[in-house]
Amino acid sequence: DTAVSQTPKYLVTQMGNDKSIKCEQNLGHDTMYWYKQDSKKFLKIMFSYNNKELIINETVPNRFSPKSPDKAHLNLHINSLELGDSAVYFCASSLLSANYGYTFGSGTRLTVV
Amino acid sequence: GQQVMQIPQYQHVQEGEDFTTYCNSSTTLSNIQWYKQRPGGHPVFLIQLVKSGEVKKQKRLTFQFGEAKKNSSLHITATQTTDVGTYFCALSWGKLQFGAGTQVVVTP
């Protein structure tokens, strides 16, 4: 069973379009995250939700909007896609109180053309 | 906020050789985590270090946390082709903040 699953794995879309990435975890974790990895492999946190509540909101354009319908799901919607949004987006989850390692999904490679 | 510098950025290693990657901070860290990301893959949690001077081993991998808790290292002995990938250290302080990573290439 996949612990943290993201869909889609690949996303190719034109500038100006709106797209969504979905994430689900079956680990019983209470906190979920979105990370962006650029072409130089730098991993930067974007958002974090704990029990459906937004707890981390880094400096990210308003075009990015996360949504957590329940603690097992975290989606990312991106409006008006730009070329610079091309990257790999990783979902991750953890148990906040445990302060231990994160479990990452396999990533969504977004290419904006 | 807290930041870590990882060196080297790239490491070319001959199969069978040893190498070390370092993670340095200007401030005292509460803990540090290490992750490995294979090419085309996702980060995978390896270990967390919490105590000053802590040393932990996982087969050929040795992780160390400095006495002052301002640096950490990952040493790999007898490198194999399966060790290829990017190794990240990360700070956990309410959110996980990653270093820039060390990309390891192994030549047979």
Grade residue B2 by pLDDT with cuts at 50, 70 and 90: low
Which of A44, A50, A54, A55 is closest to A85 using CA atoms? A44
Q: Give the separation between CA A53 and CA A68, rounded to whole angstroms.
A: 8
Tokens representing A68?
A: 């957590």
Give the single-character DSSP code of B93: S
Cβ neighbours of A103 in B, within 8 Å: 45
| A103 alpha carbon, distance to own chain's centre | 12
Grade residue A11 by pLDDT with cuts at 50, 70 and 90: very high
Q: Give the separation between CA B94 and CA A69, rounded to whole angstroms.
A: 22
Cβ separation A48–B95 shorter than 8 A: yes
Q: Give the separation between CA A101 and CA B36, rounded to whole angstroms.
A: 12
Q: Give the separation between CA B56 and CA B74, rounded to whole angstroms.
A: 10
pLDDT digits (tens, 9 = 90+) for A15-49: 999 999 999 999 999 999 999 999 999 999 999 99
Question: What b-and-e string marks burial along A87-104, b requiring 16 or more CB atoms within 10 Å of the CB?
Answer: bbbbbbbbeeeeeebbbb
Cβ separation A41–B100 shorter than 8 A: yes
Q: Are A35 and A43 in contact (CB under 8 A)?
A: yes
Residue with tokens 């962006």: A36
Cβ separation A107–B42 shorter than 8 A: yes
**Residue B93's closest chain A neighbor by CA?**
A99
Q: Are A15 and A81 in contact (CB under 8 A)?
A: yes
Strands B10-14 and B19-24, sheet pairing: unpaired
Distances (CA, A) of B94 to A45, A113, B69, B100: 11, 35, 18, 19
pLDDT digits (tens, 9 = 90+) for B68-88: 999 999 999 999 999 999 999
pLDDT digits (tens, 9 = 90+) for A53-86: 999 888 899 999 999 999 999 999 999 999 999 9
Cβ neighbours of A48 in B, within 8 Å: 95
Report residue B81: phi and psi, to 5°: -65, -25
Interface test with B, best of A47, A102, A109 (most B CBs within 10 A): A102
Is A10 at the interface with chain B, CB within 8 A?
Answer: no
pLDDT digits (tens, 9 = 90+) for B92-108: 877 889 999 999 999 98
**A43 to chain B, closest Cα gap in Å:** 6
